[in-house]
Structure 1
């Protein structure tokens, strides 16, 4: 007989430990000077990885599209509503319906193209993250159903 154990956890009280595996080296140094999205003028930048994760870069190649997950370290984590794109003429909207960097868990999602792989560094284009932004993960962009 397999006794079932019921465990109740208050979701709001859960904490997760996430560690940065690298950081962004970019000519963008201030949030105000960064484009809202990478395809709106995100410059070429380097993503530099910690030595302990360098093997994870194996098989990435120039021309490949990847998703970078970052920690938007200068975000305001208390914000729950914003005027989209900072335009006061637009109605206030909940942050979960926007791509605002200000949010309770400021995880950035960036679709970029790899230009070069150089040891523990990726040269990418289309990255709107500012210099020093911690990198949490890299994932390949998978083909859509019509491309499989």
Structure 2
């Protein structure tokens, strides 16, 4: 089976180095822009400022050979398999980011809080489920 993903958008962020990125958005995430590719503009219909969405990203700088990590990069903690962590380094580096839409203009969503590198591809956007 072959799986093909194509970016629908890209992140415009001031974060340029993996070491700058907070572990999670709520731990120091920044405001950033989601730049939607022109062919997906109709898919933005219904999105509203103030709404929570889930960004599914392709963590393009991840180590795809990594199978075990020290949780949160803390070497005093025993290693765990990446499937038991939220490490960006993993065989298929899909990131999951819950953010709030602050502003919508043409092909851009301004969102907060986001902990993702500039240029990170987005493979999907979903509305956040309510409890």
Q: Give the TM-score band, short-chain normalised.
A: over 0.9
TM-score by length of 1: 0.87
How do residues 45-56 of structure 1 correspond to structure 2 at under 5 angstroms? 45-56=32-43
Does 2:62 align with 1:75?
Answer: yes
Hey, which bits of structure 1, 4+ residues long, moved more than 3 A?
Answer: none
- Give 2:13's aligned residue: 26
Give the deviation of 1:118 after TM superposition.
0.5
Higher strand share: 2
- Give 1:93's aligned residue: 80
Q: Which runs of 5+ in 2 are unaligned?
A: none
SS class of match (1:19): coil
Does 2:109 align with 1:122?
Answer: yes
**CA shift digits 1:31-60 (9 cap, x unpaired):** 000100000011000000100001111111
Does 2:52 align with 1:65?
Answer: yes
Q: Distance in 2 between matches of 1:29 and 1:98?
A: 23
What number of residue pairs does the alignment pair up?
131
- Give 1:110's aligned residue: 97
**CA shift digits 1:62-97 (9 cap, x unpaired):** 110000000000000000000011100011000000
Q: Distance in 2 between matches of 1:54 and 1:136?
A: 14
Q: Distance in 2 between matches of 1:142 and 1:105?
A: 24
Higher relative contact order (CA 8 A, sep 6+): 2
Q: Distance in 2 between matches of 1:58 and 1:128?
A: 25
SS class of match (2:114): coil
* RMSD of aligned Cα (Å): 0.6
Q: Distance in 2 between matches of 1:37 and 1:142?
A: 19
Q: Distance in 1 between matches of 2:82 and 2:74?
A: 14
